């Protein structure tokens, strides 16, 4: 079997409401949809969803990079994934969302050839996963109202964005906790907003409201600062932007800098690299969360859900991006309707049509 064609198209989909984080505002899902065709008639589907605030990529740049990668993998056997990954890296030094698009499509083909879902390819550990719901930075009363609505809709865990204003953050978390009661898990995500000592102070103040974990409290490059926060925090610390690749995960493990790692396909370059991150963390006794970019559609989120279903060490999920979409490019996969329980399809491959 050989790759005969790599097609890519792009679409920007306006979100139902903007997501505001400490780094800025996100208003659109950005999807570069890939279809890889083979000489045996098997077609694989993938998506690159660049998040400029996190990876620095744009939709146009991602499309162009996919086209360049497409040129060098023509004629390759899609089952020779180690070779394909080497070729992708020879074309672009970084460009994780472009590589993710190819990676998902290749895994879709592998699943179809082997008559397995992607979840089964990675181990098939669980039938379904439970996602949290993310709260965008807003007025405290509005956030508290939305939090209560999510809990009443069946969600058990909230991921709350913080990091714009210290005083308002305390007010927001206080009101959210009051609105949802003591049974709800609350995760905080600062998106690199704080300096290390500031982070420790804020974590201590916000810890009054029973916080499960704090995600990326300091700048992504400041691993020493991240370790400093972890060493002085009574609440577990999770890395997100500090961990793009398996090499980053190894560095964090060696430094004992975090308690958890958030894996995102669009950040690491796809399922292949994501599985490596999980393995490194598992060996070190560090559990992982699978996350997604707000810019992703059902294609990327579904691939992430398959990985989380396959791997035991992915114990937490933040896969709510599809709930903010007004439409999708291709049908199938994780639904647009809000639900805490996500069950991946038993169809072979990714399970997304088109």
Cα 34 from Cα 350, distance rounded (Å): 13
* Burial readout 129-138 (b: 16 or more C-beta within 10 A, e: otherwise): bbbbbbbbbb
Q: Residues comprising the binding site? A: 189, 215, 240
For 205-262, how does the pLDDT look when each residue is reduced to its tens digit (9 = 90+)? 999 999 999 999 999 999 999 999 999 999 999 999 999 999 999 999 999 999 999 9
In the predicted structure, residue 26 carries a pLDDT above the cut 70:
yes
pLDDT in tens, 109-126: 999 999 999 999 999 999
pLDDT of residue 346: 81
Three-state DSSP class for residue 252: helix
Model-level pTM? 0.96
What mean pLDDT do residues 329-338 have? 93
Binding residues for Mg(2+): 189, 215, 240
Report in angstroms the alpha-carbon separations of 196 from 41, 110, 240, 286: 54, 44, 16, 22
Cα–Cα distance measured from residue 294 to residue 285, given in angstroms and rounded to the nearest whole number: 29
3-state SS record for 19-30: EEECCEEEEEEE
pLDDT at 312 over 80: yes
Tokens of 329: 């490019």
How many other C-beta atoms lie within 10 A of the C-beta of residue 235?
Answer: 19
Task: Tell me the per-residue pLDDT of 123-182, one tens digit each, with 9 for 90 and over.
Answer: 999 999 999 999 999 999 999 999 999 999 999 999 999 999 999 999 999 999 999 999
Buried b (16+ CB within 10 A) or exposed e, 202-216: bbeebeebebbbbbb
pLDDT tens digits for range 77-102: 999 999 999 999 999 999 999 999 99
Domains delineated in the chain: 3-115 (3.30.390.10), 120-343 (3.20.20.120)
* Distance in angstroms between the alpha carbons of the first and the last residue of the chain: 20
- Provide the 3-class DSSP secondary structure of residue 316: strand
Q: Which of 112, 159, 227, 264 is catalytic?
A: 264
The C-alpha atoms of residue 30 and residue 28 are separated, in whole angstroms, by: 6
State the helix-helix crossing angle for 271-283 and 96-114, rounded to 10 degrees: 90
pLDDT on residue 353: 77
The pLDDT value given to residue 261: 98
What is the per-residue pLDDT for 20? 94
Distance, in Å, from the CA atom of 3 to the CA atom of 248, rounded to the nearest integer, reads 32
CB 18 within 8 A of CB 294: no
Rounded average pLDDT over 100-106? 98
Residue 187 has what pLDDT?
Answer: 98
Question: What pLDDT sits at residue 323?
Answer: 96
Burial label, 338 (beta-carbon count in 10 A; 0-12, 13-18, 19+): middle
- Does the annotation mark 264 as catalytic? yes
Q: Are 129 and 310 in contact (CB under 8 A)?
A: no
Candidates 235, 168, 177, 174; CA nearest to 203 is 235
Out of 159, 161, 227, 267, the active site residue is: 161
pLDDT at 354: 53
Contact between residue 334 and residue 328 where contact means Cβ atoms under 8 Å apart:
no
Q: Which of 260, 258, 157 is nearest to 211 (CA)?
A: 157
Alpha carbon of residue 161 to chain centroid: 15
Q: Tokens representing 228?
A: 């400093």
Mean pLDDT, range 33-51, rounded to an integer: 97
């Amino acid at each position: 079997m050989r790759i005969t064609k790599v097609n890519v198209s792009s679409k920007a989909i306006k979100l139902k409401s903007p997501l505001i984080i400490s780094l800025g505002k996100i208003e659109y899902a950005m999807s570069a949809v890939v279809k890889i065709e083979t000489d045996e008639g098997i077609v694989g589907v993938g998506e690159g969803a660049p998040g400029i605030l996190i990876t620095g990529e744009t939709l146009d740049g991602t499309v162009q990079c996919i086209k360049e990668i497409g040129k060098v993998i023509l004629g390759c056997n899609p089952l020779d994934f180690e070779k394909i990954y080497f070729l992708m890296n020879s074309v672009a030094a970084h460009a994780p969302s472009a590589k993710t698009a190819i990676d998902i499509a290749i895994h879709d083909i592998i699943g179809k050839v082997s008559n397995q879902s992607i979840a089964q390819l990675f181990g098939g550990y669980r039938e379904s996963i439970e996602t949290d719901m993310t709260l965008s930075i807003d007025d405290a009363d509005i956030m508290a109202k939305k939090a209560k609505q999510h809990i009443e809709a069946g969600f058990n865990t909230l991921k709350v964005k913080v990091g714009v204003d210290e005083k308002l953050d305390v007010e927001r978390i206080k009101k959210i906790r009051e609105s949802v009661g003591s049974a709800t898990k609350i995760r905080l995500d600062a998106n690199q907003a704080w300096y290390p000592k500031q982070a420790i102070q804020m974590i201590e103040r916000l810890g009054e409201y029973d916080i499960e974990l704090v995600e990326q409290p300091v700048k992504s490059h400041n691993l020493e600062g991240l370790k400093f926060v972890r060493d002085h925090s009574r609440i577990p610390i999770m890395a997100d932007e500090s961990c793009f690749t398996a090499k980053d995960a190894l560095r964090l493990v060696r430094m004992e800098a975090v308690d958890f790692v958030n894996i995102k396909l669009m950040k690491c370059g796809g399922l292949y690299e994501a599985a490596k991150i999980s393995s490194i963390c598992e060996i070190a006794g560090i559990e992982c969360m699978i996350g997604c970019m707000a810019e992703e559609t059902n294609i990327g989120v579904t691939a992430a859900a398959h990985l989380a279903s396959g791997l035991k060490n992915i114990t937490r999920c933040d896969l709510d991006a599809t709930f903010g979409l007004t439409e999708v490019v291709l049908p199938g996969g994780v639904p647009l309707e809000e639900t805490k329980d996500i069950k991946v399809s038993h169809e072979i491959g990714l399970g997304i049509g088109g």
